[in-house]
Structure 1
């Protein structure tokens, strides 16, 4: 039975030398894969997904904050746009670089906990068994993608700081922790988990003094955006309703914890199934101090998430929100199981990771083109509607980042403000028009009207709504209707 299972997973296992060479090349193979994905993204006709469109809007100005998300991704995107110009190439290039850095970071993390390139390869390839990395990060996620890249390398520095050495590892640990905090707010859970482990067990050298120094550096880096968030709490907390904090008390806490456990199980299900199938007969490798430290950091991070869910009354928990806290489990599991895998099963794992990566690339292409008649956001015909909108003036207040970002993609001469970025510093003394997605004859959404009044005063008057409609290009079906009202 054992031989039959191996033959199914890897009918032609690589030789030891070939397998070792392949394992050492995984970060470079991943970089080439993500660059290919970036090229395909640029070559795909049509518009932008939600997070991509958001970046087109936010990069109109450099601010300490923009809304619910920390500002680092927008800053980096602005830097890339300075080289490439605003548009798909810059969006795709930054995303590809961050995904490649994540794989390289987890590869290095696997090496740090085991000393084995095979374990490092198993850990990094296991990322493709997490749907929020293999699919969501390539399809849509921006801030989370940056946070995970920063956290992966923070963990490498965290483990390096546990070993004898100078100040360099501690300073890198603190700096990367700070960068993670200004990438995505939920990065704070894993950052806190690492510092908790570091304070309880300070490591081989330096004691708690160096840990305090690392924490101070992280605070200094994160302080300006945090102060902005405190001063603009209404903008920073604008998305809080998505957590469905509808009540309090034990029953609501249990409801939230149930949602948390379900989301975590769904997030880790494929990773667990594959590793159990490959390694359940092989046994566990002896736990190293580095593996134990990493596992405790993740456990503490998850405990903090559970505590936050319980006391806040949140009842809606998504797997992608847990991704920054749980992705290191790929390295933890690999460190405990991969050393016991034979060549055949390790080859099977690498082949399975490659298959999921290829499936994700194919699926993304089908998704972006609206195959199956679905009106994909990336296939929306903004290019056909933009000339009519341009005739109404370039100063636009859009009902959503998706609308505003796609207008900027078609013509960077637009200046766009949206309710989702109420403090954006883009220069606009007076808008020429407001534009929103809606049915023919529908009035502007309340959030757009409220933002317009708050930003420009109650005296601003709009003309009657006009409908602008264009069909989606085949194979997508349906029409995109934008409503526009000129400012009188």
Structure 2
């Protein structure tokens, strides 16, 4: 059987496209099976999908807009949240294949590049755990490569405009995307022909269209600068000691560690598959290897400079993922430069790599069952569905609205009650709270410790809108068994009901 598969892949390397698509379809199915409780980024998307805004917080809005569209077409569910993520990951692989075909001579090596994307931990490990905006960025990086390499190989006005569109949308997907075009410019300056493409008049309309795409969100950022920057800056200072020199050194070390963590799996896969060609590939080079290699180095240097400028003590691997995504293409270009026999390349790489990444997805699904056996409970074990079912049983009806100051609860309660508006203090309201309160009673919910009172922010929101708790006015506690725990451990919810507001007198 394995011999037949090998021979088939030798004859039909293009079948890899369908194998990769099948892998991401499987990821969607396994995510649905795993749990109906969400991870952090998933919960954020579920909550924010109530609103279509120019900005939502520390992340640019493009991914939120896409999620809003998917939810309003197909409904809110674990499946639709996972479908967008894995759909973008597949498009990332597909655009990567297209980009590689532009500059790679061997017809099989672009499929190797596509498979190489699956070896990037951000694509198959971090993304399948919990990433959203970073996934959108990976897709835009592949699209940027298509546009950039097309302009360099066959320049035309449409190509330049497509490049401008890609840069614009990339920036409003995740702010660190802006490093990539800057790194590309620096790398292109080292080659005379690339410099001519860089100083072509058609760059002007490309820049203008990128500015036009970014400007609406940029205006929002200027009016909400703290909201747009505080979270990211705080994350960059995680574990900071207060000693500037020490923290800067820690930040640079974290960049090195994150770079190694993101690149070693890719290098290992290519080394195992192409071990006979390592020496020749190491020595081989072309203008394309110099370009992509220069972009990788320039990106990491720019990240380091930004980290030093902000005094960052921690740079996470997911922040480097857009730049480490270039590595498979760089390695494929090195292999292409030696002009060796690559007829077996796809057949040797596809089965083990697809097997490994599929096994990891299966592991994620099984870990939810195994964790409770050893007392390990994660976010996907928190019993939101059981909580809302018991609330409805107690009241005999759903609340007219929900108030919570916890983002995980906000997203998960929205998932369980898609038609019930969920409100968080100090965020834009998806509906008028006064109007919602006139429809029926509301629910305030929070993750509770023993005896924990009503959250201060929720109480302030009620007071600001003239709302009061129901007659007894007491916060309640509900201990609900964790998913898959068989009742051995419980998660505590705090909750209270808000009295229905009187209808306005006409």
The two structures have a TM-score, normalised by structure 2, of: 0.85
**Structure 1 370/486 Cα, relative in aligned 2: closer, same or farther at 3 Å?**
farther
Alignment partner of 1:298 out of 286, 296, 304: 296
The 5-angstrom pairing of residues 231-246 of structure 1 reads: 231-239=223-231, 240-244=233-237, 246=240
User: CA offsets, 1:296-324, max 9 Å, x none?
Assistant: 22222211100011111111121112111
* Contact 2:108/2:342 (8 A) holds in 1: no
SS in 2 for 1:209: coil
In structure 1, the partner of 2:386 is 384
In structure 1, the partner of 2:120 is 130
Look at both structures and tell me which one has the larger radius of gyration over its CA atoms.
Answer: 2
* Contact 1:433/1:486 (8 A) holds in 2: yes
Whether 2:32 is the aligned partner of 1:42: answer yes
User: CA offsets, 1:266-310, max 9 Å, x none?
Assistant: 121222233334445421174332332222222222111000111
* Contact 2:23/2:358 (8 A) holds in 1: no
User: CA offsets, 1:169-189, max 9 Å, x none?
Assistant: 111111111111111122221
SS in 2 for 1:287: coil
* Contact 2:259/2:320 (8 A) holds in 1: yes
Whether 2:139 is the aligned partner of 1:149: answer yes
* Contact 1:125/1:350 (8 A) holds in 2: yes
In structure 2, the partner of 1:416 is 422
**Structure 1 427/269 Cα, relative in aligned 2: closer, same or farther at 3 Å?**
farther
SS in 1 for 2:173: coil
SS in 2 for 1:468: strand
User: CA offsets, 1:77-127, max 9 Å, x none?
Assistant: 111122211112321221221011011122222222313332212212122
In structure 1, the partner of 2:502 is none
In 2, the alpha carbon distance for the partners of 1:121 and 1:65 equals: 37
The 5-angstrom pairing of residues 397-416 of structure 1 reads: 397-416=403-422
Alignment partner of 2:464 out of 416, 440, 457: 457
Alignment partner of 2:222 out of 230, 235, 240: 230
What is the count of residue pairs matched by the alignment?
473
Q: Which moved more, 1:96-105 or 1:113-122?
A: 113-122
SS in 2 for 1:481: strand
**Structure 1 173/198 Cα, relative in aligned 2: closer, same or farther at 3 Å?**
farther
Q: Which consecutive unaligned segments of at least 5 residues does structure 2 have?
A: 500-506
Alignment partner of 1:212 out of 191, 204, 215: 204
Q: Which consecutive unaligned segments of at least 5 residues does structure 1 have?
A: 1-9
Whether 2:200 is the aligned partner of 1:190: answer no
The two structures have a TM-score, normalised by structure 1, of: 0.88
In structure 2, the partner of 1:352 is 352
* Contact 1:113/1:288 (8 A) holds in 2: no
**Structure 1 281/228 Cα, relative in aligned 2: closer, same or farther at 3 Å?**
same
Kindly state the Cα deviation for residue 425 of structure 1 after the two structures are TM-superposed: 4.3
In 1, the alpha carbon distance for the partners of 2:468 and 2:255 equals: 46
In 2, the alpha carbon distance for the partners of 1:200 and 1:258 equals: 28
Kindly state the Cα deviation for residue 456 of structure 1 after the two structures are TM-superposed: 6.5
